[in-house]
Amino acid sequence: MMRWRLLVAEALVLLAAARLLVAGVRLGRWRHLLGPVAVAAQARSASDGDRLLAKAVERASLHLPGQTKCLPQAMALHWMLRRRDRPAQLVIAVLPDAARGGVDDLHAWVACGDEILIGALDQPFQALARFGH
């Protein structure tokens, strides 16, 4: 129980930091915090520990005022996984041209191999960039 609370507290701090960066600082100033650009998707599967971290980020997002969008959630989980030396990729994607036109044309998620740990949506997003570590 204590470990869970510590994970949620860590996620809460990282979510707040990610929200501040996304809202108030140009991407060029903090892009390096996402890690190196990855060439292709990884083949590694997610562990139960990886999934637990994703749940901690989801829970923490409920404790912050306002809505926490996909990019800050993906950033927080990516940082938590990287801190534990767990390979994963943060993916930033866009809807295909024909499906664009709304507010949510861009999306971000964290994946381990074919499994999306946070940010799964049932839409045909196409990856623009992948960041690993």
Q: Where are the domains of the chain?
A: 2-131
CB atoms within 10 A of CB 6: 11
Tokens (6 digits) for 2:
């204590």
> What pLDDT sits at residue 45?
86
User: Measured between alpha carbons, how far is 132 from 8 in angstroms, rounded to an integer?
Assistant: 23
Q: What string of pLDDT tens digits covers the 133 residues of the chain?
A: 789 999 999 999 999 999 999 999 998 898 889 988 987 766 678 999 999 999 999 999 999 999 899 999 999 999 999 999 999 999 999 987 755 566 577 899 999 988 999 999 888 888 889 998 7
Single pTM value for the model: 0.90
The answer to whether the Cα torsion of 16, 17, 18, 19 is positive or negative is positive
